[in-house]
Each structure stands twice: as structure tokens, then as C-alpha cells.
Amino acid sequence: MAELVAPPSFAMLLQRFFAEHLMQHRDVSPRTVAAYRDTFRLLLLFAERHIGKAPTAVSLADLDARLVLAFLDHLEKDRNNGARSRNARLGAIRSFLRYAAHYDLSALPVIEHTLSLPMKRFDRPLLGFLSRDEIQAILEAPDPDTWTGQRDRGLLTVLYNTGARVSEAIGLRIRDVMLDGSPCVHLHGKGRKQRSVPLWRSTAALIRSWRKRLGPVADESPLFPNRGGTAMTRSNVTQRLALYVKAAAKNHAQLLSRSISPHTIRHTTAMHLLQSGVDITVIALWLGHESPATTHMYIEADLSMKERALSRLQSPACQTPRYRPPDKLMQFLQNL
């Protein structure tokens, strides 16, 4: 009779999940690894307080639906996490449990029960975007005669031109921008996906002027560095944008009553492309969306498109005239 082999421990499975499954087999991005890591650090610290077991002593059977639900409630009530963060943590736990189910059949009932926990629904706020006059005022606010002003004007213009995420823009290197021939920029997006986006001639001119001011730098150097020569941070970009929103509000007072972040510029790019008649699948490629379904939210938010649709829809009280072919040839085609 074959000797039964004991299933691997939770600690061993978790280490293999990260080292083999995520990093080797799936080859996920470092950001995904970091997000999953933080989830399990929080979960194991919570489990230690909740069931009195050290992380190395936790078993798969301990990760039952009751414990995971208590952990999710802890995230919302004690750590003030929103529904999106809660769902992201649950997604990481689910991914691990689906992996672990292949190696510990004895824990399948517990795993199946925990996997049945639903994601939490949440209200999606109305999408915010800027008008063409508003974005133009913000882009013109930085002083191009100063080092930081010239850098910031180039950065904000690239954000609007490309619809890049702020992480993609501050991650740009000198080598990522092609200014000869048809100017374009190579963006490195989420999940290590890459895409190339064309640049307006005006954007290319701004970048050429900015690169002259930077002087000779290595191809690996940040395109938009801080004073120390390293890449700008998200908070740095947010602070600089706030200054220019305040300056632009001198002629557009309504800007002060709105919450405007670098991501608002990305939404603005998408909306202006949509309003210009660009197909939604092209916009999805432009923004680096994995599916056009993600881009559909811009259609839902565009009031002007809804108003144009309404103008084509008559009131039920109106009588729609019957179409009458103007001549015999048109009548022939109508009757086919």
C-alpha cells in the first residue's frame, strides 16, 4: 500500500504561491506582488490577534469564511478602507486559496466556503473631467521661464496628450520618447503592459525644449526629474497640479470647488477623444484598458452625447411623418 503523503503546510504553500506561482509561472508585476504581500501581512497579523496563532502556526483550515469575513470587516471599520480596497484584499486571498486547493484536498470544504464570499458592491461616483478651456488654462499656468515651470508644463501636457496614468508619466525615461519622424511616447502601464501613443507637434516641441534645458543625460534618466535628479513622486505631481489649478481659477473660478487630481486629466483626455468622435475601442487602446468595457464609463458620463441622443428622440405627443419616396426609383428601392 502506498504511503500517504502529508499535504504541505500553510506557510510552505504561501511561500510557494509567491515565489513560484506569482513570480515565476504567472510572472506578475512587482506591484501585484507587493499588493498581495501586504494583504497577507495584514491577514496574518489579524489572525494572530483573533485566533491566537502565530503566522507560522496558521493552517489552511483556519482561513474559514468566518475569519476572512471578520478580517474584511476589520479593514473597513478599523482601518477605514473603502469597498475597492476590501475587494482587492479579498481577491488576493481568493487567488491564493484557488492555488492551495490543488495541494491540500483535506481543506477543500473550507476553501470552497471561503471562495463563495462575494465582492462588495459600491456606488461609482460621477466621472469628473475638465472642459477644453479649463484644461487649457491649467496647461498654460506653469511659467516656462523657470526650470520647474518648464518641466511641469511638459509633464501636464504629456498627461493630457497621452491620457497616461501619473505612474506612467513619472516613470518615463529619456529613451521612451521618440521625437524624430512621427513623435510618440512609449508608456509602461499596469501589469507591465506597454503601449505607444502619438504626440502632438506642440507636445513634441515642448519636450525638445525641455530636453535642451536638461542638458546631456543618460537614456535611463527620468524625463521629468525632481531637483535631485530622481523621478518625481505621485504626491509631488499632485502638489504641483494643485498650484496650477489655483492659478487657472483666476479666470475659471469654478475650478476651486472641484476635486482635481492627475487622474482627472486622464479622464479629460478620454472624454475629449470621445466627444471628437474617436471610436471607443481606439480610446481603450489609447488609455491602455484591457477591455473596452472599462472605457464604457466615459459614454455614461458624457452628458452632451445624451443630449444629442435626446434631440433625435421625439416626444410621444409628436406625430412622426411617414416617409414617402421622392420619385419612382426611390420607391422601387423602398419596396425591395
Q: Where are the domains of the chain?
A: 10-115, 132-310
Average pLDDT estimate for 125-153: 90
Residue 191 scores a pLDDT above 70: no
- Give the architecture-level CATH label for domain 10-115: Orthogonal Bundle (1.10)
pLDDT above 80 for 77:
yes
Q: Would you state the pLDDT for residue 315?
A: 47
C-alpha neighbours within 13 Å on the C-beta side of residue 283 = 23
Task: Kindly report the number of other CB atoms within 10 A of residue 266's CB atom.
Answer: 22
Assess whether the region 10-115 and the region 132-310 belong to the same CATH fold. no
Q: Is domain 132-310 given the CATH code 2.40.30.10 in the classification?
A: no
The edge-to-edge listing of strands for the beta sheet with 194-198 is 177-178, 184-188, 194-198
pLDDT at position 309 is: 47
Question: What is the rounded CA–CA span in Å between residue 276 and residue 197?
Answer: 17
Residue 105: pLDDT over 70:
yes
Which residues are known to be catalytic?
A: 165, 190, 263, 266, 289, 298
pLDDT digits (tens, 9 = 90+) for 261-313: 999 998 898 888 888 887 777 777 778 876 655 565 555 555 555 555 445 54
The average pLDDT across 248-253 equals 94
